[in-house]
Amino acid sequence: MTSFARNQWYVAAYGAEIGRELFGRTVCGEPILLWRTEAGEVTAMAGRCVHRRFPLSEKPSRLDGDRVVCGYHGFTYGADGVCVSVPGQQRVPRTARLASYAVKEQDSFVWVWIGDREAADESRIPRAPWLNSPAYTVVCGMEPLAARYGLLVDNLLDLSHETYLHGGYIGTPEVAETPIATEVDEGAGIVRVSRHMDDAACPPFYSESTGIDGRISRRQDIEYHAPCLYLLHSRIAPTGTPGPDADGTDPHAFHVEVVYAITPETENTTHDFWAVARDFALDDQKVSDFLAENNRTVVLQDVVALDTLEQVIAREPEGTQELSINIDTGGLAARRILARLLAESAATPAAQPTR
């Protein structure tokens, strides 16, 4: 039994990572082989040869047109995972096929469905349209985390840590001081956490990218779509600036959409995809470079802290207690939803990969 909810969509990669080279990534403990066909479609299949379990993403395994050739004994598979050739004999066993995954390229991500393939429903994939919109400029990256994914969910749902862990980057005293409002849609598996600061110091992340040099109105509106997608709608404007117009547009403020995809790799490691989309200074490479460098620094501060926490937790007796307060309302709701998704997927026996 893993501790990951199955029958869910997870981000396996950025689309830009997948090309005409075999690419391996483990999602929820499942090793997946990803590559792009000659027609440009992303394919995802089980990452181990059916013969002797050799990793198909490891050299000398290779792509030959739209076929994958295992680097150990040459078992050869089509884009659908079906084996088309084996060494030393003409007959290919009927059962020689790799499980293939439902896959969807959207909003710059490659989403894969972990679970029973028949249940895959692309309409359930949450959206992050800013990552693929001409109205926004995006910087992004992915950092490997040597910590269980729940620690990153906790981290992102409680931004009061910005004041302490990310002071001098994105944190100011007002973040930790300002109370939050939390809304939970248990059925849809969405947690919303908002913190609105009307008169706050402007941290370097925003002052240097927007050019604001006084105090700001700063809004953080989090939407977490369990299990994988985290959106932070960040609105920044000089203190006293009017709010959005009646028609919903908001020309007076700077908007930054911070997106994380939180993908479990194994029980104790996580893929930490991060992206920062902005609606200003669209063509300013200096701003892009600054935000990329600065956000990566912030993510790495989290990585160091969470990797440390993982070691702490791994060494503590099971059942060591935590003390939670108001700031944890969102994180606790996320844990509850994740536990429910896990229980639901555990109740559904996993379909055996076709092999």
Angstrom CA distances, 305 to 104, 145, 151, 267, 309, stand at 33, 10, 10, 18, 6
User: 48 - beta bridge partners?
Assistant: 55
Question: Is the Cβ–Cβ distance between 33 and 23 less than 8 Å?
Answer: yes
User: CB of 229: closest distance to a copy of itself in angstroms?
Assistant: 23
Cβ 121 to a copy of itself, closest distance in Å? 27
- Give the C-alpha distances (Å, rounded to integers) separating 63 from 22, 77, 78, 222, 341: 7, 10, 10, 41, 37
Contact (CB, 8 A) for 270 and 147: yes
Judged by CB, which is closer to a copy of itself: 64, or 118? 64
Binding site for a copy of itself (CB under 8 A): 31, 48, 50-55, 58, 60, 69-74, 86-89, 93, 95-96, 154, 158, 160-161, 163-165, 167, 176-180, 266, 305, 308-309, 312-313, 315-316, 320-327, 355
Cβ nearer to a copy of itself, comparing 15 with 353: 353
Closer by beta carbon to a copy of itself, 84 or else 176? 176
Nearest approach, Cβ of residue 24 and a copy of itself (Å): 11
39 or 325: CB nearest a copy of itself: 325
Burial class (CB in 10 A: 0-12, 13-18, 19+), 298: buried
> 282 or 350, CB closer to a copy of itself?
350
User: What is the smallest separation between the CB atom of 179 and a copy of itself, expressed in angstroms?
Assistant: 5
Nearest CA among 328, 330, 5, 340 for reference residue 188: 340
Between residues 15 and 24, which has the closer beta carbon with respect to a copy of itself?
24
Give Cα 288 distance to the centre of its chain: 21
SS (H, E, C) 319-343: CCCCCCCHHHHHHHHHHHHHHHHHH
Q: How far is the CB of 53 from a copy of itself (least distance, A)?
A: 5
- Give the count of alpha carbons within 13 A of 192, CB side only: 9
Task: Give the shortest CB-49-to-a copy of itself separation in angstroms.
Answer: 9
